Amino acid sequence: MKKSFQYFVNAVASGFLILIPIYLAVLLMLKAIKSVAGLVRPLAGLVPDWFPAENALSIVLVLLICFLVGVAVRTQLGRMARDLVEKKFFERIPGYAVIRSLTHRMAGDELENVWRPVLAEIEEALVPAFIIEEFEDGRYTVFVPSVPTPLAGAVYILERNRVHPLDVPFTQALRVISRWGSGAKNLVESSERFAARQVATPTGP
Protein backbone atom coordinates (compact mmCIF):
# COMPACT_ATOMS: atom_id res chain seq x y z
CA MET A 1 0.00 0.00 0.00
CA LYS A 2 2.81 2.39 0.90
CA LYS A 3 4.63 1.66 -2.37
CA SER A 4 1.44 2.20 -4.35
CA PHE A 5 0.84 5.53 -2.66
CA GLN A 6 4.46 6.58 -3.27
CA TYR A 7 4.15 5.59 -6.93
CA PHE A 8 0.94 7.64 -7.21
CA VAL A 9 2.58 10.70 -5.61
CA ASN A 10 5.66 10.42 -7.84
CA ALA A 11 3.50 10.06 -10.95
CA VAL A 12 1.42 13.11 -10.00
CA ALA A 13 4.55 15.15 -9.28
CA SER A 14 6.12 14.18 -12.61
CA GLY A 15 2.95 15.04 -14.51
CA PHE A 16 2.73 18.33 -12.66
CA LEU A 17 6.30 19.27 -13.58
CA ILE A 18 5.65 18.46 -17.22
CA LEU A 19 2.21 20.04 -17.60
CA ILE A 20 2.74 23.27 -15.66
CA PRO A 21 5.36 24.72 -18.08
CA ILE A 22 3.11 23.77 -21.01
CA TYR A 23 0.10 25.33 -19.31
CA LEU A 24 2.00 28.54 -18.55
CA ALA A 25 3.33 28.70 -22.11
CA VAL A 26 -0.19 28.37 -23.50
CA LEU A 27 -1.48 31.05 -21.13
CA LEU A 28 1.31 33.42 -22.17
CA MET A 29 0.61 32.73 -25.83
CA LEU A 30 -3.10 33.44 -25.40
CA LYS A 31 -2.30 36.61 -23.47
CA ALA A 32 0.08 37.76 -26.20
CA ILE A 33 -2.49 37.03 -28.91
CA LYS A 34 -5.09 39.07 -27.02
CA SER A 35 -2.62 41.93 -26.54
CA VAL A 36 -1.80 42.27 -30.25
CA ALA A 37 -5.40 41.87 -31.41
CA GLY A 38 -5.86 45.64 -31.47
CA LEU A 39 -2.86 46.04 -33.79
CA VAL A 40 -4.20 43.66 -36.42
CA ARG A 41 -7.87 44.71 -36.21
CA PRO A 42 -7.61 47.28 -39.05
CA LEU A 43 -6.15 44.62 -41.36
CA ALA A 44 -8.71 42.07 -40.23
CA GLY A 45 -11.45 44.43 -41.38
CA LEU A 46 -10.25 43.99 -44.98
CA VAL A 47 -10.93 40.24 -44.89
CA PRO A 48 -14.40 38.66 -45.35
CA ASP A 49 -16.35 38.18 -42.12
CA TRP A 50 -16.52 34.39 -42.46
CA PHE A 51 -12.74 34.12 -41.95
CA PRO A 52 -11.41 34.59 -38.37
CA ALA A 53 -8.81 37.04 -39.60
CA GLU A 54 -8.22 38.81 -36.28
CA ASN A 55 -7.26 35.60 -34.47
CA ALA A 56 -5.23 34.29 -37.38
CA LEU A 57 -3.30 37.53 -37.83
CA SER A 58 -2.71 37.78 -34.08
CA ILE A 59 -1.19 34.30 -34.03
CA VAL A 60 0.98 35.08 -37.05
CA LEU A 61 2.17 38.32 -35.44
CA VAL A 62 3.04 36.60 -32.14
CA LEU A 63 4.92 33.85 -33.97
CA LEU A 64 6.76 36.47 -36.01
CA ILE A 65 7.78 38.32 -32.84
CA CYS A 66 9.00 35.03 -31.31
CA PHE A 67 10.97 34.32 -34.48
CA LEU A 68 12.60 37.75 -34.49
CA VAL A 69 13.49 37.48 -30.81
CA GLY A 70 14.93 34.00 -31.42
CA VAL A 71 17.05 35.34 -34.28
CA ALA A 72 18.17 38.32 -32.20
CA VAL A 73 19.39 36.24 -29.24
CA ARG A 74 21.57 34.21 -31.62
CA THR A 75 23.66 37.27 -32.38
CA GLN A 76 26.56 38.29 -30.14
CA LEU A 77 24.76 41.39 -28.90
CA GLY A 78 21.57 39.40 -28.34
CA ARG A 79 23.40 36.76 -26.31
CA MET A 80 24.97 39.46 -24.17
CA ALA A 81 21.57 41.04 -23.54
CA ARG A 82 20.01 37.65 -22.73
CA ASP A 83 22.82 36.75 -20.31
CA LEU A 84 22.47 40.13 -18.60
CA VAL A 85 18.71 39.73 -18.16
CA GLU A 86 19.13 36.17 -16.84
CA LYS A 87 21.77 37.19 -14.31
CA LYS A 88 19.90 40.27 -13.11
CA PHE A 89 16.40 38.82 -12.93
CA PHE A 90 15.68 35.18 -13.81
CA GLU A 91 18.59 33.52 -11.98
CA ARG A 92 17.30 35.04 -8.74
CA ILE A 93 14.23 32.82 -9.09
CA PRO A 94 14.84 29.57 -7.15
CA GLY A 95 15.28 26.62 -9.48
CA TYR A 96 15.37 28.72 -12.67
CA ALA A 97 18.92 27.71 -13.66
CA VAL A 98 18.22 24.01 -13.20
CA ILE A 99 14.94 24.15 -15.14
CA ARG A 100 16.61 26.17 -17.90
CA SER A 101 19.38 23.58 -18.20
CA LEU A 102 16.82 20.77 -18.23
CA THR A 103 14.93 22.51 -21.03
CA HIS A 104 18.13 22.94 -23.04
CA ARG A 105 18.99 19.27 -22.54
CA MET A 106 15.56 18.14 -23.69
CA ALA A 107 15.97 20.39 -26.74
CA GLY A 108 19.17 18.52 -27.64
CA ASP A 109 21.80 20.93 -26.32
CA GLU A 110 24.57 18.52 -25.26
CA LEU A 111 26.93 21.37 -24.30
CA GLU A 112 25.11 21.90 -21.01
CA ASN A 113 27.06 20.62 -17.99
CA VAL A 114 23.94 20.33 -15.85
CA TRP A 115 21.72 17.23 -16.29
CA ARG A 116 24.60 15.32 -17.81
CA PRO A 117 23.79 11.58 -17.88
CA VAL A 118 25.97 9.40 -15.64
CA LEU A 119 26.02 6.08 -13.82
CA ALA A 120 26.31 6.71 -10.08
CA GLU A 121 27.58 4.20 -7.53
CA ILE A 122 24.86 3.90 -4.89
CA GLU A 123 25.70 1.24 -2.28
CA GLU A 124 26.78 -1.81 -4.32
CA ALA A 125 25.01 -0.88 -7.55
CA LEU A 126 25.28 1.41 -10.57
CA VAL A 127 22.18 3.53 -11.14
CA PRO A 128 21.29 5.97 -13.96
CA ALA A 129 21.59 9.54 -12.71
CA PHE A 130 22.21 13.12 -13.82
CA ILE A 131 24.81 15.64 -12.70
CA ILE A 132 23.19 18.74 -11.23
CA GLU A 133 26.28 20.64 -10.08
CA GLU A 134 30.00 20.19 -9.47
CA PHE A 135 31.82 21.15 -6.27
CA GLU A 136 35.14 22.98 -6.34
CA ASP A 137 36.76 19.93 -4.72
CA GLY A 138 35.53 17.65 -7.52
CA ARG A 139 32.47 16.15 -5.85
CA TYR A 140 29.13 16.08 -7.64
CA THR A 141 25.54 16.69 -6.74
CA VAL A 142 23.63 14.02 -8.66
CA PHE A 143 19.94 13.45 -9.13
CA VAL A 144 18.86 9.80 -9.13
CA PRO A 145 15.40 9.57 -10.71
CA SER A 146 12.70 7.12 -9.73
CA VAL A 147 11.44 4.52 -12.18
CA PRO A 148 9.45 5.11 -14.31
CA THR A 149 9.01 8.79 -13.32
CA PRO A 150 12.32 10.47 -14.28
CA LEU A 151 11.44 13.88 -12.82
CA ALA A 152 11.01 12.53 -9.29
CA GLY A 153 13.76 10.93 -7.24
CA ALA A 154 16.55 11.53 -4.74
CA VAL A 155 19.62 13.77 -4.55
CA TYR A 156 23.08 12.53 -3.56
CA ILE A 157 26.44 14.21 -3.06
CA LEU A 158 29.10 11.79 -4.31
CA GLU A 159 32.85 11.70 -4.76
CA ARG A 160 34.08 12.02 -8.34
CA ASN A 161 35.24 8.39 -8.50
CA ARG A 162 31.67 7.22 -7.82
CA VAL A 163 30.22 9.16 -10.77
CA HIS A 164 30.80 7.68 -14.24
CA PRO A 165 29.96 9.96 -17.21
CA LEU A 166 28.06 8.59 -20.19
CA ASP A 167 28.59 9.40 -23.82
CA VAL A 168 24.88 9.26 -24.67
CA PRO A 169 22.22 11.91 -25.33
CA PHE A 170 20.11 13.08 -22.41
CA THR A 171 16.96 11.76 -24.07
CA GLN A 172 18.40 8.24 -24.34
CA ALA A 173 19.11 8.09 -20.60
CA LEU A 174 15.62 9.45 -19.95
CA ARG A 175 14.06 6.69 -22.07
CA VAL A 176 15.91 3.97 -20.15
CA ILE A 177 14.46 5.28 -16.88
CA SER A 178 10.92 5.64 -18.24
CA ARG A 179 11.06 2.07 -19.62
CA TRP A 180 11.92 0.42 -16.31
CA GLY A 181 15.60 0.03 -17.21
CA SER A 182 15.21 -1.38 -20.71
CA GLY A 183 18.33 -0.31 -22.57
CA ALA A 184 20.51 0.06 -19.46
CA LYS A 185 23.02 -2.28 -21.10
CA ASN A 186 23.82 0.46 -23.61
CA LEU A 187 24.42 2.93 -20.77
CA VAL A 188 26.93 0.56 -19.12
CA GLU A 189 28.72 0.01 -22.43
CA SER A 190 28.84 3.78 -22.98
CA SER A 191 30.34 4.29 -19.52
CA GLU A 192 33.00 1.67 -20.19
CA ARG A 193 33.89 3.23 -23.55
CA PHE A 194 34.12 6.67 -21.96
CA ALA A 195 36.39 5.36 -19.20
CA ALA A 196 38.60 3.58 -21.76
CA ARG A 197 39.06 6.79 -23.72
CA GLN A 198 40.00 8.65 -20.56
CA VAL A 199 42.79 6.25 -19.62
CA ALA A 200 44.04 5.62 -23.13
CA THR A 201 47.41 7.17 -23.86
CA PRO A 202 48.09 8.62 -27.34
CA THR A 203 50.53 6.67 -29.42
CA GLY A 204 53.26 8.24 -31.47
CA PRO A 205 53.56 7.93 -35.26
pLDDT digits (tens, 9 = 90+) for 21-78: 677 777 877 788 788 777 777 777 777 777 777 778 888 888 888 888 778 777 887 7
Q: Are residues 85 and 124 in the same domain?
A: no
Q: Is residue 110 part of a domain?
A: no
pLDDT in tens, 5-25: 666 666 665 666 567 667 777
Has residue 172 been placed in a domain? Answer: yes
Q: How far apart are CA 183 and CA 176, in angstroms?
A: 5
pLDDT for the residue numbered 201: 55
What does the alpha-carbon distance between residue 47 and residue 51 come to, in Å, rounded to a whole number?
7
Residue 187 binned pLDDT confidence (cut-offs 50, 70, 90): confident
Predicted local confidence at residue 172, as pLDDT: 83
- Domain span at 59: 2-92
> Are 133 and 173 contained in the same domain?
yes
Give the separation between CA 98 and CA 161, rounded to whole angstroms.
Answer: 24
Span 115-124, pLDDT tens digits: 888 999 998 8
| Inside any domain, residue 158 | yes
